[in-house]
Every structure is written in structure tokens, then in C-alpha cells.
Structure 1
């Protein structure tokens, strides 16, 4: 098939988490599973156990894994052949309760990574907060392995963590090796395509499904902590020079992310590279090859590289995240 690809919309994959809630029902149109806490919706995932599937058009039912194999050049463009799997994992998180205190290894800590997996650098955009919202990001200065281990034994780990009260719109970058957790928030998360997490502490709670505490991986976590990652706060958005309704929130070797708020038509996407759109508010039509593809709150749309730049026609005020992949040569772009 020539030029078989089009703007691709995917079905969210819900995940039970004991710290989750039910707020994702307000964000996504797919009904939540009955009567259990849902902590995560994986909205674009190329994992063997959880591969996102296209929900509309001629490729309905195709997984992102199949698309990467059958249409590598059309999907990835100049990035074709650089990645065995789609390199990013996108999620919405409903953190009703605080998550475990955790850390993720870096790409070069191979002994702590399953074969074929990467490290995990991630970032959050805060969507909703509550009266008990808090983000823990990085350690407090002066924390070392010895006094952190002691804090685990004395159930005082929170005293060693830097934290702040988030507000909607905050953007937080969590480099691999950063001790972190969050609670009382709904966030969008972009991360490397990895599911490697080492729990340092889990607030002494039990999982209601098993009646047991969840496993900790204290030694592995300690080995992966970057003790120089301290006092992490929200990033300062960079407003685009010629597009004042567009802010760049993150720009690193794994992903570049912009936040765009428009009532008037706008351009999205880039020539010969894939682009991801995530709709946070409002609705619009994505125009490609003279066809209209609707996008509304909670939707994720992957624009294949073969499509290039597209027009977006908002129905009302729309808030979009636009995400691109720099590739392994870290070509940064404004």
C-alpha cells in the first residue's frame, strides 16, 4: 500500500494501581473497569505486554508494534532503523494516593535493565490537583546512601525528599536516577519506553488485592540513585518567539514537548519525522490530505513521518501537547 498511513488514534490501556482512583473517567471516553482503582492509562505504548492499537480507519486493530515493522519508513521517517520499538511511552496518571518512593535506572546502567529495555527519563505535566497534592522530586541536599538507608529503617524517608505543592500547568522533568513520587494529582507523563522501576519505600502500606506489602528493591534503587539530583522544581516554560501561544516545556535527548493553546488554526508536525499530539482540552479537526480527523479531550494522535506538517482547525479553544523524538544524536530544535 502506498501512503497507507494517516493520523492514527489509539485506544487507551487501563492499569490497576492500588494508589489510583477514578478521575481518568473525566479525561478519557473509554469507560473505566468497574470498581477498582485505575492509576494509569497507557495512551501510546509499544510494550510486548501492552501494545496500543489503532481505533479508526483502514488500519483499525493494528498495533503500534505491527506498524513499526510493516511501515518503518513511513512511520518514522528520518528516525527509521534507529529504534527497535517506538521509543516513547505516554500515559495519564491518576495519583489519588501517593505512589511509592522510586527511582529509574539510566540508559548506561545495563546491568539493571532487562535485555532490550532502556533506562527511564520521564516528565510530567500537571492537569489536576487536590487539597493534599504533593510532588516529591529529588533529594534534599546532604542526603547520602547511609542516611537514606537509615531513613528507610526509621520510616522517615519523606524527611530526605525535596517536595513542593504543584498547581495545574506545572511541568516537571525527572531525569533517570532522580528519586521521586507524587500524590493527589492527575498528570500527563511522557517517558522513555521502559517499565523499569525500583521501589525504595512504599509508605508501609499493603495491597488490598494481595493483603501483603509490595516488594521493595532497596539495593537496586540505591545503586541507580544520582545523589546530585536535588531540589527539583517545575521547569520554566520557554515561549516561542514567533508563536506566543506555544511554549516549549521539555527539550532533551529523548523527547521535545510543546504546549499549545489556540482558538485559531495552527500548524503541527514536521517534515519526515513522527509527531504525537495529545489533546488536554477542547476539540479540533486535524487536516491531512484534504481529510478531517477529529481530536478531542484525552485523545492521542500519532502523525506518521510520511504525513509531514498538518493543519489543526479548533472547534473552540484547544490545549494540545506536541511531542517529537530527537533521535540518538540529540539534534535539538526550536
Structure 2
């Protein structure tokens, strides 16, 4: 196909069973949920086992993997050649029950990363906290490996985890090496394109599907913990623009930059010669590209390939829109 035919790409969510999941993703997404507890919707994924599929326009049915491999300059622009695959993985999480206490390795901990994968730094944007919502992020100050090994034997790991009650609109940065988990909350998650997680503790529960406890990787988890990462609280957003709309930057690191716009006024999205990703967490509107209107709604993720540049966003009432950029790391 001709590379000049690109436009804003929408994708079909990929649902994932998780024993801690629920049914609240139906409040975000129109694609029907499968039976059972659904913990994750992978909304933009370039993974061998789960590749997102375009669901609109000329490229309908094409995977993100094929777009990235066949049209690298059109998709990535000035970032083409910097990555072996699309570098971010985006999800919605419904933690109806508490997740396992877990940790992800950093990019330089090669011995703990499967071949072809990376470390994992991630961040959460809180969408829907429940009455019992709780986020655990980081250790309590002074905690060491021996403390955690004793706590595992005594089933008291939570005593060494920093926690807080999240509210809608909170942003939480989970750098690789951070011990973390969350409960009774729906969040949007942006992360490195990695599926490497080590479980430290799983609250002594069994998986209803297998009747057995889930596997723990205690030694690997402990080896990957950065014990200096303590008392992680919500980030303080920074206003990077006030006209025509308030544009708040939540995260800015070597893996991703994320802004939030909450407005009913028109504004622009996208950037010249680099890709951007839009995630709508509230409301609906239209994207105007060369006079063609692309309607988006709550729960939609839209990839703006580098080739299309800056375009206009037209809210239909108030919207909560996240825009994500990929830093040039090489």
C-alpha cells in the first residue's frame, strides 16, 4: 500500500483474564467483555503473542507489528530505526481485587530479562477508584532484603509497603525496581513494551481456574528491587500550556511523556515527524485530519503516525484526553 495513505489509527482492545479482575472495563470500552474476571485490556500492543489490530479505514485488519515493520518512517518519523518494535505497551487495568506484590527489572539487569524483552518502567493514570481503593508504591524507609524475607515467612509483607488512597486524576510513576500493587481501582497504564514481572507475594490466595497458588519468583523479585524507592506518592502535574486549553504534563522520562487535557475547547494534538498516542478516558469528540472527521469516544486509543503531523481535536462537550510521546533515546 502507498505510504501516503496513513490516517489516525484506532485499535480493537485485547482482553486478558486475571484472577484479580472484574467487570468495570465495560464502563470504558464498548467491545463486549468475555466471561469471567477481566483484569486487563491491552489497547496498544506490539507483542508476538498479542498484537493490536487496526479497526478502521484502509488498513483495517493490519496489526501494529506489521505497520511498524513495513512502514517504519511513516509510523515513527525521526524515531525510525531507534527501536526494534513499537516501544510502548498501553493497557486499562481493572483491579477488582488486589494484584500480587511485584517488581519489574530495570533495562540494565540483563540477567533477569528474557531474550528479546526489556526492563519495565510504567505509570498509572487513575480513572475510577472504588470505595476500598488502595495503591501500594515503594517500600517504607529503611526496609531491607532481610526484612522482606522475614515478612514473607510471617505473611506480613504489607507492613513494609507504602500505600495511599488514590483519587480520580492521580498519576503514579512506577520506576523499574519499585515494589508495587493496587486494589479496587481502574487505571490506564503506559509502560515499556515488556511483559517481565516477578511476583514477591500473592496474599496467600489460590487461582480459581487451577485451584493452586500462583507461582512466586521471590529470589528474582528481591534481586530486582531498588530499596531506595520508598514512599511513592502521586506525581504533581505541571502546566505546560494554558491557551487555548490547560495542558498538564504528568510524566516525563526516558521512556514516555504524558500530558492530560481536560476541556470542551478545540485544540491541536500530534507533532511533526514523530508519533503520538491519544487515549480518551472521558467524553467524546472528533479528530480533523485533512477535512475528514474521525470520531472518538471514552476508552478509545488512537495512534497518530508521524507522517500525519499536527491535527485538530474537536471535543463534543468536556473530554479528558491523554497524549503520549516517545522520547528520542538514541
**TM-score normalised by structure 1 residue count:** 0.97
- Asked if residue 116 in structure 1 is aligned to residue 123 in structure 2, the reply is no
Mapping of 1:173-212 within 5 angstroms?
173-212=173-212
Deviation by residue 1:72-118 (Cα, 9 ceiling, x = unmatched): 00000011011111000000000000000000000001111111111
Indicate conservation of the 8 Å contact 2:45/2:51, yes or no: yes
Mapping of 1:281-292 within 5 angstroms?
281-292=282-293
Structure 2 unaligned runs (5+)?
none
- The alignment's C-alpha RMSD in Å is 0.8
Deviation by residue 1:188-238 (Cα, 9 ceiling, x = unmatched): 000000000000000000000000000000000011000000000000010
How many angstroms does 1:262 deviate by? 1.6
How many angstroms does 1:327 deviate by? 2.2
Q: Report the secondary structure of 1:65's partner residue.
A: helix
Counterpart CA distance in 2 for 1:242 and 1:185 is 30
Counterpart CA distance in 1 for 2:131 and 2:265 is 35
Deviation by residue 1:253-279 (Cα, 9 ceiling, x = unmatched): 000000001211110011000000001
How many angstroms does 1:245 deviate by? 1.6
Partner of 1:64: 64
Counterpart CA distance in 1 for 2:139 and 2:3 is 52
Partner of 2:219: 219
Counterpart CA distance in 1 for 2:229 and 2:106 is 13
How many angstroms does 1:241 deviate by? 4.0
* Counterparts in 2 of 1:291 and 1:158: CA distance versus 1, 3 Å: same
Counterpart CA distance in 2 for 1:221 and 1:118 is 15
Partner of 1:318: 319
Partner of 2:31: 30
Partner of 1:141: 141
Q: Report the secondary structure of 2:222's partner residue.
A: helix
Partner of 1:272: 273
Structure 1 unaligned runs (5+)?
330-334
Partner of 1:298: 299
* Counterparts in 2 of 1:268 and 1:241: CA distance versus 1, 3 Å: closer
Partner of 2:166: 166
**TM-score normalised by structure 2 residue count:** 0.98
